């Protein structure tokens, strides 16, 4: 049968090349290759949907090295053994978990047919929050196979957020000098955001990160770190699958929780909706309870004006080349959520103090 391929022109590989050099290592017949994603960046990667005589498969060209890949393979195997569904690496004819071609690494999994998580569906949010807790709780005693690189975060929260705080101050100096449209909006809203940043750093300074801040996995757990709706699939047979473990490492669960929550709370429809937060955390805590220090760390992270900091950092860093009106539009949108953010922070602080009787 002649191969049908839908490969974008700027892709690294032709359909015939992928079939003969990569897919030929697997025990099936390739019928069609469709390019789903291609990113030609420093971390070059691509995703292909493969139609075979044994069903749909997902071929992924990864950007990391073999020892990173073996770590991620270990994570996926570990989670599946504990009832958490993630697409498993399909072995080649020779029993290998990847194919190497021209210094590029490829992995193959089943294609998960289903729908991505719907952030407008509270039941979906509750289900994925509970699943995230299962991932973290199951991390106890995790160990990767020999040859793996141990991916472990060395994030210093106080140093990192202090650095962001200084950048906010530097950006205010830039704004006073430049005095353009973006700078005026930035300065008009500076007081609110710098106060939130100050409080965030103060809270972080009160947490002793040298000690265990909660249970056995509170300081080190398997963290997906891109736990967002495009990577969470509800399959047609009713299972919840987590995909795309590229950013996964051992880290504090609160970091993972904050990534998950921020993606929902920054949306216009669910803008800093405290009901969404409560439902998420109550679902999470059905599986794994958070300590007071973990809640305070989560509060500090959500309190910090991350989007305001990031957009201003990017603007003044690229001011000569950037589309200024686009940056103004994004900043205005961020500002419209400030009241929601303020109310959310007030409610969250009260909730934590009530929960832990402080």
Tokens of 330: 């994004």
DSSP 289-343: PPPHHHHHHHHHHHHS-HHHHHHHHHHHHSTTTS-HHHHHHHHHHHHHTHHHHHH
Cβ-in-10-Å burial (0-12, 13-18, 19+) of 102 comes to exposed
Closest CA to 239 of 58, 74, 84, 55: 84
- In this structure, what are the phi and psi dihedrals at residue 218, rounded to the nearest 5 degrees? -65, -30
pLDDT higher than 70, residue 7: no
User: What would the pLDDT profile of 223-276 be if each residue is shown by its tens digit?
Assistant: 999 999 999 999 999 899 999 999 999 999 999 999 999 999 999 999 999 999
Strand order across the 4-6 sheet = 4-6, 30-39, 45-52, 55-62, 104-110, 99-101
Question: Is the pLDDT at 37 greater than 90, yes or no?
Answer: no
Average pLDDT of the residues of the chain: 94
> 68 by DSSP, 3-state: which?
helix
pLDDT at residue 49 above 60? yes
| Residue-wise pLDDT tens digits, 113-164 | 999 999 999 999 999 999 999 999 999 999 999 999 999 998 899 999 999 9
For 269-281, b/e burial (b = at least 16 CB within 10 A) is ebbbbbebbebbb
Which residue in 75, 85, 81, 78 sits closest to 127, CA to CA?
Answer: 85
17: pLDDT confidence band, cut at 50, 70 and 90? very high
| pLDDT, position 91 | 96
What is the three-class DSSP state of 54? coil
Q: Domain 4-111 falls in which CATH fold?
A: Phosphorylase Kinase; domain 1 (3.30.200)
Q: What is the mean pLDDT of residues 191-213?
A: 97
Say how far apart CA 146 and CA 80 lie, in whole Å.
19
DSSP 108-123: EEE---EEE--TT-HH
- pLDDT at position 358, please? 85
Which residue intervals of the chain bear CATH 3.90.1200.10?
A: 122-355
| Mean predicted confidence (pLDDT) in 296-324 | 96
Mean pLDDT of 11-34: 92
* C-beta separation of 343 from 272 below 8 A: yes
3-state DSSP assignment of residue 80: helix
In the predicted model, what is the mean pLDDT of residues 27-49?
Answer: 89
Q: Is the pLDDT of residue 9 over 90?
A: no
* 8 Å CB contact between 271 and 337: yes
pLDDT of residue 44: 82
Q: So what's the pLDDT on residue 13?
A: 85
pLDDT at 8 over 80: no
3-state secondary structure of 19: helix
Q: Is the separation of the CB atoms in 84 and 242 below 8 Å?
A: yes
State yes or no: pLDDT of 42 exceeds 90.
no
Residues 290-314, mean pLDDT to the nearest whole number: 98
pLDDT value at 3 more than 60: no
Query: Looking at residue 1, what is its pLDDT?
Result: 41
Label residue 171 left, alpha or beta by phi (over 0 means left) and psi (-120 to 50 means alpha).
alpha
Q: What is the pLDDT of residue 230?
A: 95
Condensed to tens digits (0 to 9), the pLDDT of residues 304-315 reads 999 999 999 999
| Phi, psi values for residue 274, rounded to 5° | -65, -30
Joined tokens for residue 13: 């590989």
Question: What residue spans in the chain does CATH classification 3.30.200.20 cover?
Answer: 4-111
- Record the pTM: 0.93
- SS3 category, 348: helix
Cα dihedral angle (40, 43, 44, 46), rounded to 10 degrees?
A: -110
> What local confidence, expressed as pLDDT, does residue 227 receive?
98
Predicted local distance difference test score (pLDDT) of residue 45: 85
Q: Given this model, what pLDDT does residue 10 score?
A: 53
What integer pLDDT is reported at residue 2 of this predicted model? 44
Please report the DSSP string for 210-276 in residue order: TS--SSTTSSSEEE-S--SGGGEEEETTS-EEE---TT-EEE-HHHHHHHHHHHHHTSSTTTT-HHH
CATH architecture of 122-355: Alpha-Beta Complex (3.90)
């Amino acid at each position: 049968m002649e191969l049908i391929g839908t490969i974008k022109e700027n892709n690294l590989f032709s359909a015939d090349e992928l079939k003969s050099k990569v897919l030929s290592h697997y025990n099936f017949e390739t019928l069609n290759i469709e390019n789903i994603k291609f990113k030609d960046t420093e971390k070059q990667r691509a995703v292909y949907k493969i139609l075979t005589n044994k069903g749909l498969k997902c071929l992924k060209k990864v950007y990391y090295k073999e020892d990173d890949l073996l770590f991620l393979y270990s994570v996926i195997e570990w989670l599946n053994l504990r009832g958490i569904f993630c697409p498993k690496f399909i072995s080649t004819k020779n029993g290998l978990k990847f194919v190497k071609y021209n210094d590029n690494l490829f992995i193959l999994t089943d294609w998960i047919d289903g729908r991505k998580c719907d952030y407008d569906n509270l039941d979906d949010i509750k289900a994925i929050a509970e699943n995230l807790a299962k991932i973290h709780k199951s991390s106890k005693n995790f160990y990767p196979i020999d040859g793996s690189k141990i991916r472990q975060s060395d994030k210093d929260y106080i140093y990192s957020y202090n650095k962001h705080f200084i950048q906010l101050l530097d950006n205010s100096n830039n704004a006073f000098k430049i005095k353009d449209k973006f700078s005026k909006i930035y300065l008009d809203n500076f007081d609110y955001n710098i106060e939130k940043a100050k409080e965030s750093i103060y809270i972080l300074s009160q947490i002793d990160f040298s000690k265990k801040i909660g249970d056995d996995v509170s300081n080190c757990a398997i963290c997906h770190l891109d736990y967002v709706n495009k990577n969470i699939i509800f399959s047609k047979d009713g299972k919840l699958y987590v995909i795309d473990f590229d950013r996964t490492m051992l880290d504090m669960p609160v970091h993972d929780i904050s990534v998950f929550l921020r993606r929902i709370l920054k949306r216009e429809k669910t803008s800093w909706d405290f009901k969404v937060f409560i439902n998420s955390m109550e679902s999470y805590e059905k599986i794994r309870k958070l300590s007071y220090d973990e809640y305070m760390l989560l509060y500090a992270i959500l309190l910090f004006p991350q989007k305001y900091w990031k957009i201003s950092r990017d603007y003044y860093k690229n001011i000569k080349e950037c589309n200024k009106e686009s940056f103004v539009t994004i900043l205005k949108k961020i500002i419209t959520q400030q009241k929601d953010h303020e109310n959310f922070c007030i409610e969250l602080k009260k909730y934590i103090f009530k929960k832990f009787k402080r």
